[in-house]
A and B are shown apart, each in its own frame.
Chain A
Amino acid sequence: MRFAGLSKTMMRLMLVLGIMTHTAAFGFEIEDQKLYAATNETSVLRIISTTDIDAFEPIILAYQSENPGISVDYTIASSTELMSAIYVEGAVFDLAISSAMDLQTKLANDGFARSYVSAPTAALPDWAKWRDQVFAFTQEPAVLVISERFFGDDDVPRNRQELIELLRNRPEQLRGRVGTYDVRVSGAAYLFATQDSRNSESYWRLTEVMGSLDARLYCCSSDMIRDVASGELAFAYNVLGSYAESQKHATSGFRIIEMDDFLSVMLRTAVIPTSAENITAAEAMVDFLATLNARPALNNLSGLPPIDEVALRSNNALRPIRLGPELLVFLDRLKRDAFLRSWTDAIQQ
């Protein structure tokens, strides 16, 4: 839905006149919005996020019980709309939470993020923060989701090489029954795809083989899991592991395979934009998120796996995507065009 409060022309006029609007009456699209009002409200923390309300609500409630008096205004938007809200339109939000590490990094690199240092942020591992402006609070690998109906007791592929062999050996059974993200639509999918392409040449072979079997392209993890569970798909590649994990209790018929060659690990990150007004509440939320690994009950509720260096070290295949200027490379217009061109050529034959 388009957030329609004022027309764009009207809004531009107001900006020209220098009138500060307090609400997010801008031209970016939001998907949902929910206000968690505090009983004795002292301030409002405005969050713009790509994370579903279901997943984040337990965190908001726990945060409010530790920080009474802070109402939380939670706005959900896609990662590109979030970027455009802050980068282009200068919308007022106190905290930006996104799974698009590249866009969050670009916010910090281009000077749209505030620095914040505290004991909880200092305790984060070096790979889980950048410039004291981008703070990671989850680590979510991209996994393979397979249909129990399709595989039954058969051997399941453990790595990309085996997956390619499976596709080559059983083309007739698999034609039209493999799914993956449409990287042109999903920011997280694009991030996973670009990282996969960096990690291994097998990514391009896999994409080509999937393309040759008329792979179906999806916008969201939920749709892929639905189709895998129903058996319509044999497997879906690069599904967000945390989401698949959270669906296991509600949906049956699928299994989660963590490949053993490598697993790209996406970090969900928080940024305090320079336009933030309620900075204290935003910093308290950053501290809260940075200490998620000390709240196992909350992690179960939200289904968001916290930063856990031990788990990372125990599995050699886990490759957390590095925060840093290199994430800007695939945001480069020419680079992005070239990558999407190659990807489209490979997946649509």
Chain B
Amino acid sequence: MTGRFGRGSIRLRLVGQLAAVAAVLSVAFFLIVRGVAGQAAEDTQDNILAASATAIADALYTDNNAVSLELPYSAISMLGTISQDRVFYRVVADGTTLTGYDDLPSPDAQTLGPAPNFTTFPYRGESVRVATVLRSVSVGNQPVNVTVTVAQTQLGLAEISSRITATATAIAVGFFLAAMALILLAARSALAPIGRLTRSVSRRGPQDLRPVVTDTPTELVPLVEELNKFISRLGTSLSRSEDLITEAAHRVRTPLAAVRAQAEITHHRLNKPEHRQAIREMIRAIDESSRSAGQLLDHAMVTFRADSHERDALDLTDLLNDTCNRLGPTADLKDIDLIRDLPEHPCEMVGDRILLQSALRNILDNAIKYSPADSRIIVRATDGDAYRLSVSDEGRGFGGAAHTELTTRFSRGSNVSDIVGSGLGLTIADEVALTHGGRLEISENTNGVGACVSLVFPKQ
């Protein structure tokens, strides 16, 4: 997709093709108007020239056995009324010039028919339109062929022609612009159903996998049907994945818990120190597996929900309290003092409860895990420009590892190899923060002991 009118834009193709048609029609229109009107103007000049030549021919008479002529005033003045063009004429009787311009070429009488003959040629530095009329005059019972040639320059014609061109251009451009406006409107109205369909699909909530029922034009019905089939398959697939994650959690955690319980019992029964040591190792491995499985499933859940997370109105204070309550017993086991520094009022935001719970649980779990016994963990929420939920411990910190390193999947701080961990905890927290438009901040405490991990969410 390259911008709004990408390569695949239907609108662009529709408008482009129609515009091409409109352009072709405009040009055709222009050529036709100019051609027809230009021809009409030329015909007008021809008609006047023919009328002038005929008027002169009509004024021929025989005088003393010779052809003579009294040039009619109107024959020339009619040419002067339409334009300021130069006028030339020549009357030839039996091959000799009777009157007029001797050098004006006059067609041979033999080649002329009864109708006026028209030609165009250059004369005295300008192109002239020429009409010639043949008339037979009887001189002493002998017919004498007289040719009357009238020529006129084409300045007036050129003026008319340029006016016609200007008018035709204006009309053609106007036609094209009007057509373009209509084309754009037509394209918009033709493509409106696609926009409606798009909006109706994009308006849906993440959990809304009902079939699309928007009114669609015939052409889009197959697409919508396929879309609905796809949604239905997606729904099935999603519910299967969720079932799988839940099922997997159950199936993995329960047996591991059972095995751990059995190992504990066995540990109490055994007397030999080397056997007890082996069992402790086993318990430790079980813990590691259980924890890893839990975090992997959490991470799967975060990834699964991140794209289409729910938007519930929730209270962050509430969530923190809840998380502290759940992990309170674990902290107690290590004699860790869980100090809550939470505001009195609710910190409301819209987000996915399960994801946020998972993030907070992982952060606090990490803090408890890496804190030494008999230490303090401060869980704090502040409500400023943004909500900041932070967990500070007195543990060993991160050994100076970078933020990106810590939030990369399966990577852990360089100083924690002696403690069970998968390296997914901060990754989960980071992804949840990003999903909610917030960020994860990691800092070493300033006094050199412990670290502080914060989730920062902008207020919506």
Q: Across the two chains, which residue of chain B brings its CB closest to A129?
A: B84
Query: At the interface, yes or no: A332 with Cβ under 8 Å from chain B?
Result: yes
Query: At the interface, yes or no: A109 with Cβ under 8 Å from chain B?
Result: yes
With A332-B100, A334-B69 known to touch, is A325 a contact of B76 (CB < 8 Å)?
A: yes
B124 touches A326 (CB 8 A): no
- Cα distance, A334 to B66, chains bound together (Å): 13
With A324-B80, A334-B98 known to touch, is A109 a contact of B86 (CB < 8 Å)?
A: yes
B80 touches A338 (CB 8 A): no
Query: At the interface, yes or no: B119 with Cβ under 8 Å from chain A?
Result: no
B80 touches A325 (CB 8 A): yes
- Cα distance, A322 to B74, chains bound together (Å): 13
Option from A108, A325, A338 in Cβ contact (under 8 Å) with B79 = A325
- Cα distance, A310 to B72, chains bound together (Å): 33
B77 touches A326 (CB 8 A): yes
Give chain B nearest CB distance to A264 CB in angstroms. Answer: 15
Q: Across the two chains, which residue of chain A brings its CB closest to B70?
A: A338
Option from A111, A198, A322, A334 in Cβ contact (under 8 Å) with B99 = A334
B69 touches A325 (CB 8 A): no
Determine the chain A residues whose CB is within 8 A of the CB of B100 once the complex forms: 332
Give chain A nearest CB distance to B156 CB in angstroms. Answer: 11
A86-130 with Cβ < 8 A to chain B: 108-111, 130
Determine the chain A residues whose CB is within 8 A of the CB of B68 once the complex forms: 334
Determine the chain A residues whose CB is within 8 A of the CB of B125 once the complex forms: 111
A198 touches B73 (CB 8 A): yes
Query: At the interface, yes or no: A329 with Cβ under 8 Å from chain B?
Result: yes
Option from B81, B87, B99 in Cβ contact (under 8 Å) with A109 = B87
Query: At the interface, yes or no: A259 with Cβ under 8 Å from chain B?
Result: no
Determine the chain A residues whose CB is within 8 A of the CB of B88 once the complex forms: 109
Q: Across the two chains, which residue of chain A brings its CB closest to B75?
A: A329
Query: At the interface, yes or no: B14 with Cβ under 8 Å from chain A?
Result: no
Option from B80, B85, B86 in Cβ contact (under 8 Å) with A326 = B80
Give chain A nearest CB distance to B410 CB in angstroms. Answer: 90
A329 touches B99 (CB 8 A): no
B71 touches A325 (CB 8 A): no
Most-contacted residue by chain B among A111, A131, A325 (CB, 10 A): A325
A111 touches B124 (CB 8 A): yes
A333 touches B73 (CB 8 A): no
- Cα distance, A43 to B75, chains bound together (Å): 45
B70 touches A111 (CB 8 A): no
A328 touches B76 (CB 8 A): yes
- Cα distance, A334 to B72, chains bound together (Å): 11
Give chain B nearest CB distance to A8 CB in angstroms. Answer: 23
B70 touches A335 (CB 8 A): yes
Q: A326-345: contact bitstring with B at CB < 8 Å (1 yes, 0 no)?
A: 10110011110010000000
A111 touches B86 (CB 8 A): yes
Determine the chain A residues whose CB is within 8 A of the CB of B79 once the complex forms: 325
Determine the chain B residues whose CB is within 8 A of the CB of A109 once the complex forms: 86-88
Q: B117-130: contact bitstring with A at CB < 8 Å (1 yes, 0 no)?
A: 00000001110000
With A110-B124, A324-B84, A325-B87 known to touch, is A335 a contact of B71 (CB < 8 Å)?
A: yes
Determine the chain B residues whose CB is within 8 A of the CB of A110 once the complex forms: 86, 124
Give chain A nearest CB distance to B293 CB in angstroms. Answer: 99
Determine the chain B residues whose CB is within 8 A of the CB of A322 once the complex forms: 80
Give chain B nearest CB distance to A94 CB in angstroms. Answer: 21
B77 touches A324 (CB 8 A): yes
With A110-B124, A334-B99 known to touch, is A329 a contact of B73 (CB < 8 Å)?
A: yes
Option from B76, B84, B98 in Cβ contact (under 8 Å) with A130 = B84
B99 touches A333 (CB 8 A): yes
Give chain B nearest CB distance to A228 CB in angstroms. Answer: 32
Determine the chain B residues whose CB is within 8 A of the CB of A198 once the complex forms: 73
Most-contacted residue by chain B among A111, A130, A322, A324 (CB, 10 A): A324
- Cα distance, A131 to B98, chains bound together (Å): 28
- Cα distance, A31 to B197, chains bound together (Å): 98
Determine the chain B residues whose CB is within 8 A of the CB of A108 once the complex forms: 86
Give chain A nearest CB distance to B209 CB in angstroms. Answer: 80
- Cα distance, A93 to B192, chains bound together (Å): 77
Determine the chain B residues whose CB is within 8 A of the CB of A326 once the complex forms: 73, 76-77, 80
Determine the chain B residues whose CB is within 8 A of the CB of A325 once the complex forms: 76-77, 79-80, 85-87
Give chain A nearest CB distance to B316 CB in angstroms. Answer: 84
Most-contacted residue by chain A among B75, B84, B99, B155 (CB, 10 A): B84
A154-211 with Cβ < 8 A to chain B: 198
Determine the chain A residues whose CB is within 8 A of the CB of B76 once the complex forms: 325-326, 328-329
- Cα distance, A282 to B87, chains bound together (Å): 26
- Cα distance, A110 to B87, chains bound together (Å): 8
A130-159 with Cβ < 8 A to chain B: 130-131
B61-106 with Cβ < 8 A to chain A: 68-73, 75-77, 79-81, 84-88, 98-100
Give chain A nearest CB distance to B153 CB in angstroms. Answer: 9
Q: Across the two chains, which residue of chain B brings its CB closest to A339?
A: B70
Determine the chain A residues whose CB is within 8 A of the CB of B70 once the complex forms: 334-335, 338
Q: Across the two chains, which residue of chain B brings its CB closest to A198?
A: B73
Determine the chain A residues whose CB is within 8 A of the CB of B124 once the complex forms: 110-111
A291-349 with Cβ < 8 A to chain B: 322, 324-326, 328-329, 332-335, 338
Determine the chain A residues whose CB is within 8 A of the CB of B81 once the complex forms: 324
- Cα distance, A126 to B21, chains bound together (Å): 46
25 A-B pairs with C-beta separation under 8 A: A109-B86, A109-B88, A110-B86, A111-B86, A111-B124, A111-B125, A130-B84, A131-B84, A131-B86, A131-B155, A198-B73, A324-B77, A324-B81, A324-B84, A325-B87, A326-B73, A326-B77, A326-B80, A329-B76, A332-B71, A332-B99, A334-B71, A335-B69, A335-B70, A335-B99
Residue positions of A touching B, CB distance < 8 A: 108-111, 130-131, 198, 322, 324-326, 328-329, 332-335, 338
Residue positions of B touching A, CB distance < 8 A: 68-73, 75-77, 79-81, 84-88, 98-100, 124-126, 155
Given contacts A111-B125, A329-B75, 11 further A-B contacts (CB under 8 A): A109-B86, A110-B86, A111-B86, A131-B84, A131-B155, A322-B80, A325-B85, A326-B73, A333-B99, A334-B98, A335-B69
